[in-house]
Amino acid sequence: MMDAGLPLLEVTDLATHFHTQRGLLRAVDGVSFSVRRGQTLGIVGESGSGKSALARTIIRILSKRHTTTTGRITFEGRDLLTVSEPDMRDIRGRDIAMVFQDPTSSLNPVKQVGVQIEEVLARHLGLRGRAAQTRAIELLTSVGMPLPQERLHQYPHQLSGGMRQRVAIAIALACEPKLLIADEPTTALDVTIQAQILDLLHRRQKAHHMAMILISHDLGVVAGYTDTVAVMYAGQIVEQASTRSLFRNCRMPYTAALMRSAPNLSDPPHTRLRAITGRPPDMVLPPPGCRFEPRCDDATDICRNRRPALSASDADGTHRYACWHPVASPGASA
Ligand SMILES: Nc1ncnc2c1ncn2[C@@H]1O[C@H](COP(=O)(O)OP(=O)(O)OP(=O)(O)O)[C@@H](O)[C@H]1O
Ligand code: SF4
Ligand SMILES: [Mg+2]
């Protein structure tokens, strides 16, 4: 299962702070992880934990004026935080593509579907005319679009939400990216379409040995489609492990609370996380110790005062958690 060589993407001590009227908002605050070729990393966490900010930082689509980003994002040996804007434009769409929760925000409402796909093919692959059109039809067919030829001349508003997301995926996959970042790609869709879209991404990923970061607040999604999972809380990764190890033996009380809200792998897929008591902290003034402390039943003085580092819970260091009082056994079947 292990891939030889360097990871495709390596994120090191990444921080993204938004400049707000109240001060710096620490949306991403010291995050490190890596993704290998062909591998899927799930990023899971409640609303506001920084998942989208992290994704947008990686593909550099946040406003430079309103954010400060520090750390390193190494993709195929290049630091994405320091490459030039033209180089980044080449990487974005060709090597790293992104699918957003709401396809209406990524599609252009006043351009026909075919034009939007062909623009990407022209820009990154130099394909034009009939060759581009043939490829656009192939792409739409590959994402399960009914009547692909006719869709070329339609506008996004003429399509259903599920079909719009298929177009967005066709565009994202047009250049066979090495990494796809899918940020809650199915949250806006109904349940049957959700499963179809996730299966589609999974199949395409396997066929093309593409790496994927699948972002979700839904543990059911993460369980079924990922190799490893990073759990985010208040801008930080609080537990990180192979999907199997995380579901069998989670150590961080926050992860355990997520598990209890969607406890079993045998549950129907896409089971929603039940809200955990209390609210995530204000990221302008986060608690000085463990950020989960105000909501944690196991908290003690040390949790209030000192931030727990991510430490290994297994011999090879692949399962890591940040907690002073880790849970001893999984709550998975509770
Ligand atoms: N452009 C922005 N300016 C200021 N603050 C922002 C901006 N975008 C996001 N935030 C804040 O950053 C934090 C992280 O937001 P983010 O959108 O990354 O969360 P998320 O995990 O993707 O949540 P969701 O599951 O709701 O999509 C939140 O506190 C949010 O309010
Ligand atoms: S460090 Fe303390 S407050 Fe934080 S999750 Fe662990 S026990 Fe709870
Ligand atoms: Mg988000």
SS3 133: helix
Tell me: the pLDDT tens digits for 21-31?
Answer: 999 999 999 99
Instruction: Tell me, in angstroms, the distance from the centre of ligand 1 to residue 284's CA.
Output: 12
Sheet holding 9-20, edge to edge: 23-35, 9-20, 67-75, 78-79
Ligand 1, atom nearest to 280 Cα: 29
Beta carbon of 296 within 6 Å of any ligand 2 atom = yes
pLDDT for the residue 193: 85
pLDDT for the residue 44: 96
- The answer to whether 51 touches 237, Cβ cutoff 8 Å, is no
Which of 302, 320, 323 maximizes ligand 2 atoms within 8 Å of its Cβ, making it the mutation to test the pocket? 323
Percent of the chain whose predicted confidence (pLDDT) is above 90: 79
Beta carbon of 239 within 6 Å of any ligand 2 atom = no
pTM to 2 decimal places: 0.93
Instruction: Tell me, in angstroms, the distance from the centre of ligand 1 to residue 296's CA.
Output: 23
Residue 178 phi, psi (nearest 5): -80, -25
Ligand 1, atom nearest to 46 Cα: 25
Pocket of ligand 1 (CB under 6 A): 18, 20, 25, 27, 45, 47-53, 217, 283
pLDDT for the residue 312: 87
Which of 17, 29, 47 maximizes ligand 1 atoms within 8 Å of its Cβ, making it the mutation to test the pocket? 47
- The answer to whether 227 touches 202, Cβ cutoff 8 Å, is no
Ligand 2, atom nearest to 291 Cα: 4
Mean pLDDT of 139-160: 94
Tell me: the pLDDT tens digits for 162-211?
Answer: 999 999 999 999 999 999 999 999 888 888 888 888 999 999 899 999 99
pLDDT for the residue 171: 96
pLDDT band at 147 (very low <50, low <70, confident <90, very high): very high
Average pLDDT, the chain: 91
Instruction: Tell me, in angstroms, the distance from the centre of ligand 3 to residue 181's CA.
Output: 12
Residues 6+ apart with CB under 8 A from 143: 166, 167, 169, 170, 173, 200, 204
Tell me: the pLDDT tens digits for 49-76?
Answer: 999 999 999 999 999 999 999 999 999 9
Ligand 1, atom nearest to 53 Cα: 18
pLDDT for the residue 268: 57
Q: What is the largest CA-CA distance in the chain?
A: 68
Mean pLDDT of 29-40: 97
Which of 17, 18, 102, 272 maximizes ligand 1 atoms within 8 Å of its Cβ, making it the mutation to test the pocket? 18
Task: Decide if pLDDT at 333 tops 70.
Answer: no
Describe the crossing of helices 85-94 and 113-125 by its angle, rounded to 10 degrees.
120
Instruction: Tell me, in angstroms, the distance from the centre of ligand 2 to residue 328's CA.
Output: 13
Nearest C-alpha to atom 12 of ligand 1 is from which residue?
27
Beta carbon of 290 within 6 Å of any ligand 2 atom = yes
Task: Decide if pLDDT at 128 tops 60.
Answer: yes
Q: Ligand nearest 56 Cα, by number?
A: 1
Beta carbon of 189 within 6 Å of any ligand 2 atom = no
Question: Which of the residue ranges 203-207, 216-220, 260-264, 306-310 would you say has the lowest mean pLDDT?
Answer: 260-264
SS3 15: strand
Distance CA 124, CA 116 (A): 13
Task: Decide if pLDDT at 282 tops 70.
Answer: yes
Task: Decide if pLDDT at 213 tops 60.
Answer: yes
Q: Can you say how many angstroms the Cα of residue 176 is from the centroid of all Cα atoms in its chain?
A: 18
Backbone torsion region of residue 146, taken as left when φ is above 0, otherwise alpha when ψ lies between -120 and 50, otherwise beta = beta
Mean pLDDT of 230-241: 97
> Tokens representing 296?
């944690």
pLDDT for the residue 215: 97
Nearest C-alpha to atom 5 of ligand 1 is from which residue?
18
Distance CA 283, CA 49 (A): 9
Kindly compute the dihedral angle of the four CA atoms of residues 210, 215, 221, 222, in this order, to the nearest 10 degrees. Answer: 80
Residues 6+ apart with CB under 8 A from 168: 99, 100, 103, 106, 107
- The answer to whether 308 touches 324, Cβ cutoff 8 Å, is yes
Instruction: Tell me, in angstroms, the distance from the centre of ligand 1 to residue 118's CA.
Output: 32
SS3 125: helix
